[in-house]
Structure 1
Amino acid sequence: MWIRRLRKLGCRFVLDDFGTGFSSFSYLRILPVDYLKIDGSFVQNIEKEYSYRALVQAMNAVAHTLGKKTVAEYVENENVLRILDELKIDYAQGFFLGKPLPEPMDIAI
């Protein structure tokens, strides 16, 4: 599989938007990805509804059991970040942590 060959070269892979659409836990066993990116629709509701917290916790536990790191999308405030820290999520992204920046352009002089 081409992913395995690229991993040997040092590339790392992320399974994005996990928990929505066609993604499932079976993909975690099949695809040789390094990171599981938990969809923001779960993360943004984590402080309001306990069921979302339980789902994020389960995704994190399964990912860690399979040797993968986790990334939580849509971190919009300090309370959400605190909950993710309690759940031992590895990484977080969202406007609370910083707005996206454009990639620097190389300019030849």
Structure 2
Amino acid sequence: MKCAINLSGKSIDKTEIIEEIEIYQKEFNINPADICFEITETAAIGSISKASAFIERLRAEGFKFALDDFGAGLSSFNYLKNLPVNYLKIDGSFIRNVDNDPLDQAMVKSMADIGKTLGIETVAEFVTSEAIADYLIDVGVDYLQGFHFHKPEPLNNLVHIVRRDQIGK
């Protein structure tokens, strides 16, 4: 099971958080490749050197990183060159009407193309319909998430489902 964890801008400013992550990873025998930390574009650009160092340190241990809300900032593509992330999470504001809005379509296609060029996988959030999912697949977005696939639910429910599936129902 893979898990995405949102980090706040304040988290990446705290140097002790890296040690805490490493302690919990060892204590609970977590495979770092199963964890993807999500950092919003705004938080990352607030202190790009700290964010970059934070990402590089944990990526060296095998953790993955996503740049969340990509495209919402004014200089997104420029910052992207300086952040060693694994995934681009395209901001939901571009996804909500992508099945009907030619400008959103062009923006999303551009982001998917840039991701491919840089070797960074793309994730579209806020996928709410099959029409939106079909468009995103057609332009090469790598991963889709949203209510079209599953509604949010308490973590305990998901843990129960995973355990039940592992045991064989």
- Tell me the TM-score normalised to structure 1 length: 0.90
Greater helix proportion: 2
Matched, 1:56 2:56: no
C-alpha distance in 2, partners of 1:59/1:80? Answer: 16
Q: Please, which runs of 5 or more residues in structure 1 have no aligned partner?
A: none
C-alpha distance in 1, partners of 2:107/2:78? Answer: 16
Q: Pairwise CA RMSD of aligned residues?
A: 1.6
Matched, 1:18 2:79: no
Deviation at 1:22, TM superposition (A): 4.9
Q: Deviations over 1:33-57 (max 9, x none)?
A: 1000001110111111111101000
Residue identity over aligned pairs, in percent, reads 47
Structure 2 match to 1:72: 124
Deviation at 1:3, TM superposition (A): 1.4
Task: State the secondary structure of the residue aligned to 1:101.
Answer: coil
The structure with higher relative contact order (CA 8 Å, sep 6+) is: 1
Query: Which consecutive segments of 4 or more residues in structure 1 shift more than 6 A?
Result: none
C-alpha distance in 1, partners of 2:88/2:152? Answer: 20
- What letter corresponds to residue 80 of structure 1 in structure 2? I
C-alpha distance in 2, partners of 1:2/1:46? Answer: 33
Structure 1 match to 2:144: 92
Deviation at 1:100, TM superposition (A): 1.3
Q: Count matched residues.
A: 106
